[in-house]
A and B are shown apart, each in its own frame.
With several copies, the nearest count.
Chain A
Amino acid sequence: MRPVIRECVLGFTRAPLLSTLSVTAIAFSLFTLGLFGLVAVNLQQALAALEDRVEVVAYLLRGTPIEAAMLAAEDARTFPEVAQVTYVSADSALARAQAELAEFREAYRDLRTNPLPASLEVALRPGQRDPETVAAVAERLRGIGVVEDVRFGEEWVAGLARLRRIAGLVGGVIGLAFAGVALVIIATTIRMALLQRSREIAILRLVGATDGFIRAPYLLEGALKGFLGGTLALLLTWAAFALVRGGSDALVAPMFLPPAFVAAGVAGGTLLGLLASLLSVGRHLRPRGVR
């Protein structure tokens, strides 16, 4: 249908200001969502990096022979929650303490006996790092014969879990608010553009145009604006990302949105434009004062 495309193009060229503004508004609101997504993705990644450090340490009885320690490690490896078990001998524990705790270095140098015990460092599988699971694993490790004591930084694990909960809640609230903003803006701009043309729609109906004939260019226009807005938002988000990445010295290398998210954003913009048009046109096709 040639006329539909022509009408849609005319819609843009006849009101360049309004069209530009619509696209801009859509773009900026999706940009807002994009920025939020960017923050969310990177926060998520940072938290995951922290969680990698959740570890349970089982201190062994002083003088445990290496064979017994290895058996205990074997045992721990059979736990379904456990990803990896590393044996740390008393000597390497001392070496590590001297390297890490500089102010004690000198003090340790004077010691005649090594005060540190050997230990098993137990890393847990992703998804098995919540306080309950960690505590359960620690309890079972305590049951192993050569294990004297188990430590896993209860506070650290619980704090991390709480941080995650808060981040999820804040993220949910803010994300929802931003999605709301985007929706309101898109609906507003399209509604206004339509109010603008309600006279045109009314006249077309008077000369016998069907609803489909009237609606088609608006729908195409809405979808196109949504698509353009989505693409623009993507570019803006990328630019913001590039700017920040350039400025940071990458403590944790910042990550861009995953491709699926990007595709969903642009497709969502298009769909949103289409839907908003559909809803708005639907109402306007039946104005009170038809005449």
Chain B
Amino acid sequence: MIRFRHVDMAYPRGELALVDVSFEVAKGEFVFLTGHSGAGKSSILRLLWAGERPSRGEVRVAGFAVNDLRNRDVPRLRRRLGIVFQDFRLLEDRTAEENVALALEATGMRPDLIPARVLKVLSQVGLSTKGRSYPRELSGGEQQRVAIARALANDPPLLLADEPTGNLDEKATRAVFQLLRDINAAGTSVVMASHDAALVREANYRTLELKQGRLVADSGRDAVEALA
């Protein structure tokens, strides 16, 4: 599903944000990305959704080679992804429902199927009563959950979630995490950046740890090596 090979990445203004990162994620896997603030978690996700290109090395996602992805193929890649952005990126002048619905329209879903699907995902994140609210009328955690609902809506083969519980209380965190687990169980691969150490520890999924742009630990590889 994902392959990083010796990937370096530099932002136009700034030093290397990622240095020689290599890892693979298989179809159906659930992987945590951890690391200190500024370690490069979001940068890895950004490469996955082709928001940036690697400066060196190879990035493949869902059958697309990000290195030389043509601009017109970017939408095709993104339609296969569900993305929860760290800063939500909701459309400010659309209600929660409209935010989710528009994403579905953009990916070409049949219009008559959309309303039901929107209701479903919003109630999955516990926001069935807030569908008509605009983002500015929602609490921080509620906005975050709208962002999660939007990412889940088109049932993507790969879900990228950047700190999806940063604004949620313990209970909501657990509920959202359970939701991601269920989705993963149904076959979706999940890559989730998180600094919630307790959550990561408890979940006991494969964890990639970054430190200043370098991959310093991969519990999956450790496990594989331990098995060998």
CB distance from A201 to the nearest CB of B (A): 10
* Chain B min CB distance to A13 (Å): 10
Tally chain A residues at the interface, Cβ within 8 Å.
19
Which partner residue on chain A sits nearest B82 by CB separation? A207
Question: Which of A38-46, A114-122, A208-216, A249-257 has 4 or more CB atoms under 8 Å from chain B?
Answer: A208-216
Question: What residues on A are CB-neighbors of B83 within 8 Å?
Answer: 206-207
**Chain A residues within an 8 Å CB radius of B71:** 286
* Structural contact, A207 and B78, CB atoms closer than 8 A: yes
User: Is B174 at the interface (CB under 8 A from chain A)?
Assistant: no
Interface residues of B in 33-83 (CB under 8 A from A): 46, 49, 51-52, 71-72, 74-79, 81, 83
Instruction: Say yes or no for B106: interface residue by CB 8 A criterion.
Output: yes
Task: Check: A3 CB closer than 8 A to any chain B CB.
Answer: yes
**A136 touches B (CB below 8 Å):** no
Which chain B residues border A286 with CB–CB below 8 Å?
A: 71
Verify if A290 is at the interface (C-beta below 8 Å from B): yes
Residues of A within 8 A of B150 (CB): 207
Q: Are A205 and B75 in contact (CB-based, < 8 A)?
A: yes
- Does residue B91 face the partner (Cβ distance < 8 Å to A)? yes
Closest residue on chain A to residue B92 by CB atoms: A199
- Closest chain A CB from B226 CB (angstroms): 37
Cross-interface CB contact of A204 among B81, B102, B136, cutoff 8 Å = B102
Contact of A208 among B51, B72, B75, B93 (CB under 8 A): B75
| Shortest distance from the beta carbon of A86 to any chain B beta carbon, whole Å | 75
Q: How far is the CA of A14 from the CA of B93 in the complex (A)?
A: 8
Residues of B within 8 A of A291 (CB): 46, 51-52, 136
CA distance A136 to B135 in the complex (A): 80
- Across the interface, name the chain A residue whose C-beta is closest to B89: A203
B28 to chain A, nearest CB (A): 22
Contact A207 B106, CB 8 Å, known A3-B111, A14-B93: yes
In whole angstroms, what is the CA distance A204 to B75 when docked? 10
- How far does the alpha carbon of A213 sit from the alpha carbon of B72 in the complex, in Å? 12
| CB of A288, distance to nearest CB on chain B (Å) | 8
**Would you call A154 an interface residue if the criterion is a C-beta within 8 Å of the partner chain's C-beta atoms?**
no
- How far, in whole Å, are A240 and B212 apart by their CA atoms in the complex? 62
CB atoms of B75 and A210 under 8 A apart: yes
The answer to whether A204 and B106 have CB atoms under 8 Å apart is yes
Smallest Cβ-Cβ distance to B104: which chain A residue: A207
Nearest residue (CB) in A for B85 is A206
Question: Given the complex, which residues of A lie within 8 Å of B85, measured CB to CB?
Answer: 206
Q: Bound state CA distance, A211 and B73, in angstroms?
A: 11
> A152 CA to B76 CA in the complex, in Å?
78
Q: Which residues of B contact A210 (CB under 8 A)?
A: 72, 75, 106
Q: Is B107 an interface residue (CB 8 A)?
A: yes
Whether the pair B78, A289 counts as a contact (CB closer than 8 A) is no
Interface residues of A in 58-93 (CB under 8 A from B): none
Q: Is B107 a contact of A208 with CB atoms below 8 Å?
A: yes
A-B contacts, 16 listed (Cβ < 8 Å): A204-B102, A204-B106, A205-B74, A205-B78, A206-B83, A207-B106, A208-B76, A208-B81, A209-B106, A209-B107, A211-B72, A211-B75, A290-B51, A291-B46, A291-B51, A291-B52
Closest 4 CB pairs between A and B? A209-B106, A208-B78, A208-B79, A207-B103
Please give 4 more A-B residue pairs, beta carbons under 8 A apart, in addition to A3-B105, A14-B93, A207-B107: A208-B77, A210-B75, A286-B71, A291-B52
